[in-house]
Structure 1
Amino acid sequence: MNDRLAQELMKLANYDLEVREKLSLEGKLSGGYHPDMEKVHKNNAQRLREMIKEIGFPTISKVGDKASDAAWLIIQHSIGEPDFMKQCYEMMNENRSDINLKNIAYLYDRIQVFQSRPQKYGTQLIPEGIYPVQNKENLNKEREAVHLPPLSSEKMSRILSPENIPEIDAKDEGYTIWRKKVGWV
């Protein structure tokens, strides 16, 4: 196991969360992608790219559970870099026996939502409820397969229909402009 990279991954992820908390307390996280948060995400993604070149994807056997989860957090937050997120999703899938399956599920869903596509596992929420899913009837089976708890009937009733996606996207013009600018759509 690579302890040096494990410690660095956890430090990068913790810094991300610290900046997020600070900006949240200051009321600066609403109204778009804050430049300070974007800078942290870009720097962390760049450093993770370097680590991947050095050791391959930071799987559990290479860096431990916590550091592998930290790598996932860095990827999950690299929202301004769609290609990087997609490449990491592929690497995680290739190493799925050595990755926390929940992390693969969350990343898949996040990528889908940014692309205006229904999610598979129901992990992504929006103010109106749960972002639309591909197959509501099989949702809890899909969740079980990646060790996510089932959604209750109440939560299932909060899942929006895939037909609502154009309406959801239309609510925030700035979000749509940003997604186009960075390459999500």
Structure 2
Amino acid sequence: MNEVCSKELIELAEKDLSVREKLASEGKLSGGYHPEMEQIHRQNAEKLREIIRKIGFPTISKVGDKASEAAWLIIQHSISEPAFMKECYKMMIENKSGVNPLNIAYLHDRIQVFQSKPQKYGTQLTEERLPYPVENKNKLNEERLKVNLKPFSQEEINRIPGIEKIAEIDAKQVGYTEWRIKMGWILAP
């Protein structure tokens, strides 16, 4: 196990979470992507790139469970770098025996939602706290169980908006849509 990379990943994730906590306590996390948070996310993504160049993707066997989780957090939060998130997702799939399957599921869904596409596992929520539309409601619980997610009740599944509601859901979040266009997640209409 690479102790140096493990320690660095954990420290990066802890810094991310401490800045997030500070900004949240100051009421500065609503109303868009806070510049200080974005700076931390970009710096962490760059450090993770360096680690990946050095040791490859930070799997559990390479850096330990806690540091592998930290790497996933860094990837999940690198939202202003779509290409990086997508490349990391590919690396996670290639190294899936050394990565928590739950992390792969969350990253898959996050990327899909940022692109206004239906998710597979139902991990990302709308402003109404309902899962964002999913690819297949009939297979949702089957997919969730594969990655150790708790299944939804049929009532919960029935409340998930259909794929045809994606444009309507996204239209409610003008600033979010403008930001996704600016970052390259989606194209301008």
Instruction: Tell me the distance in 1 between the aligned counterparts of 2:155 and 2:9.
Output: 37
Give CA deviations for 1:89-109 in whole Å, capped at 9, x if unaligned.
000000001100000000000
Q: Where does residue 14 of structure 2 map in the other structure?
A: 14
Q: Where does residue 50 of structure 2 map in the other structure?
A: 50
Deviation (angstroms), 1:155: 2.7
Q: What is the TM-score when the length of structure 1 is the normalising length?
A: 0.97
Q: Where does residue 141 of structure 1 map in the other structure?
A: 142
Q: 3-state DSSP class of the match of 1:46?
A: helix
Instruction: Tell me the distance in 1 between the aligned counterparts of 2:50 and 2:152.
Output: 38
Q: Where does residue 182 of structure 1 map in the other structure?
A: 183
Instruction: Tell me the distance in 1 between the aligned counterparts of 2:156 and 2:75.
Output: 27
Give CA deviations for 1:38-71 in whole Å, capped at 9, x if unaligned.
0000000000000000000000000011100100
> Is the contact between residue 170 and residue 177 of structure 2 (CA under 8 Å) also seen in structure 1?
yes
Instruction: Tell me the distance in 2 between the aligned counterparts of 1:144 and 1:172.
Output: 31
Q: What letter is aligned with 1:120? A: K
- The number of aligned residues is 185
Q: Matched residues, percent identical?
A: 66
Does 2:17 correspond to 1:27?
Answer: no
1:81-96 aligned within 5 A: 81-96=81-96
Q: 3-state DSSP class of the match of 1:130?
A: coil
1:49-88 aligned within 5 A: 49-88=49-88
> Is the contact between residue 79 and residue 85 of structure 2 (CA under 8 Å) also seen in structure 1?
yes
Q: What is the TM-score when the length of structure 2 is the normalising length?
A: 0.95
Q: Where does residue 169 of structure 1 map in the other structure?
A: 170
4+ runs deviating over 6 angstroms: none
> Is the contact between residue 113 and residue 119 of structure 2 (CA under 8 Å) also seen in structure 1?
yes
Task: Quote the RMSD (CA, aligned, Å).
Answer: 0.9
Deviation (angstroms), 1:153: 3.0
Deviation (angstroms), 1:25: 1.1
Deviation (angstroms), 1:158: 3.1
Stretches of structure 1 that go unaligned for 5 or more consecutive residues are: none
